[in-house]
Amino acid sequence: MKILVTGGTGFIGSHTCVELLDSGYEVVILDNLSNSQRDVVKKIQTITQKTVHFYEGDCCDKQMVEKIFKEHHIDAVIHFAGYKAVGESVCKPLMYYQNNLMSTLTLCEVMNQYECKQLVFSSSATVYGDPEIVPIDETSKLGPTTNPYGTTKLYIEQILRDLYVSDPSWNIALLRYFNPIGAHASGFIGESPNDIPNNLMPYIVKVANKELPQLHVFGNDYDTHDGTGIRDYIHVVDLAKGHICSINNFLLEHVGVEAYNLGTGFGYSVLDVVHTFMKVNDVDVPYVIDERRPGDIASCYAKTEKAYQELGWKAEKNLNDMCKDAWNYVKHFKLQ
């Protein structure tokens, strides 16, 4: 079975390619390298000792997508490619709508042309907006979203539901990620943003590695156990395995369009993460308490029963593993 992975050299995409290859699938990657490096292809091949077909290109380029479907019989697609920085999306909404929506429309058009109607879409917990109740389950109210990035995910989910209504032979899994962190245990692949990170873990890692002076904790006056924001952090390898379970599930039965939360079901605060990171890695992470970040919510974590009952998937790694593997990647990456 051959799987096309768009955005396959990215953080979650690369870890998913490793799990696909280790599960016996063939992998074709399409990535424009706008937020990743080409040498990730080699690292995926080193980890798995398997070859990958790599195409440098953009999902918005219909000719490129058609070329892949002409040269390969694609059985299913996992669609990661898209811009994903919340803060950037507020400043550049048109760029986000253009890229994230057009790439998906172009991809689905070509999939349709080639009778390939099995799609796993990289969605996000941001489609829930500021949840009224936590933990959040898949029937929770969607929106209003708090940034254009989250809105693109919500719009794409609706587009894919409309596509299914027009042609019920489609199988579409909408995977709503909570907060993916960590790295592959080998240390070969992980999260390595080039500029100042927006997200918590890559920022902590740069402070621990003395690339940044201190962490700014965005607010300690939330209604949580220690006043700092709570999120459902999930190990990126667990998240990757959730995609394999989705694909396997398609092969067993027709699902139509289904949304699944991919989280651990546990919420940890910012200070929980900082203290755990320092303890398990025996490093210092100096921090200062700052004002809240606009658009942030107090608490967000998942109900995970549906993914377990229908996909046979649940997260297995804990916060210690996530902190250890994130730090191991930086130490290893710096040596490469």
Catalytic residue annotation: 149
Residue nearest to ligand WQD as judged by C-beta position: 229
| Interface map 154-183 toward ligand WQD (x if CB under 6 A) | -----------------------x-x----
Q: Write out the binding residues for ligand WQD, residues 118-137 only, by CB under 6 A.
A: 124, 126
Task: Work out which of 229, 242, 265, 267 binds ligand WQD, going by CB under 6 A.
Answer: 229
Compute the least distance from the CB of residue 187 to ligand WQD, in Å.
21
Judged by CB under 6 A, does residue 293 bind ligand WQD?
yes
For residues 251-270, which are near ligand WQD according to CB under 6 A?
270
Write out the binding residues for ligand WQD, residues 24-53 only, by CB under 6 A.
none
Per DSSP, 295 falls in state T
CB of 63 to ligand WQD, least distance (A): 29
Only one of the segments 62-70, 216-224, 254-262, 276-284 lies at the binding site for ligand WQD (rule: CB under 6 A); that segment is 216-224
Question: Residues 41, 74, 217, 285: which binds ligand WQD (CB under 6 A)?
Answer: 217
Report the SS3 class of residue 205.
helix
Phi, psi of 173, deg, nearest 5 = -105, 125
C-beta pairs of 128-135 under 8 Å, 24+ apart in sequence:
128/176, 128/300, 130/297, 131/297, 131/299, 131/300, 134/267, 134/299, 134/300, 134/301, 135/232, 135/265, 135/267, 135/301, 135/302, 135/303
Q: How far is CA 113 from CA 106, 152, 174, 247, in A?
A: 11, 24, 22, 21
C-alpha dist (Å) from residue 262 to 1, 137, 211, 243, 258? 24, 10, 31, 9, 13
- The phi and psi torsions of 61 (rounded to 5 degrees) equal -90, 95
- Beta-carbon contacts of 204 under 8 Å, excluding residues fewer than 6 positions away, are 215, 273, 274, 277, 285, 326
Stretch that binds ligand WQD, among 105-113, 209-217, 241-249, 252-260 (CB under 6 A): 209-217
- The single residue listed with the structure tokens 């940044």 is 212
Q: Which amino acid is at 3?
A: I
Stretch that binds ligand WQD, among 91-99, 187-195, 198-206, 302-310 (CB under 6 A): 198-206
Of 35, 45, 199, 248, the one binding ligand WQD by CB under 6 A: 199
- Distance of closest approach, residue 301 Cβ to ligand WQD, in angstroms: 10
**Positions in the binding site for ligand WQD (CB under 6 A):** 84, 86, 124, 126, 177, 179, 198-200, 203, 215-218, 229, 231, 270, 293, 296
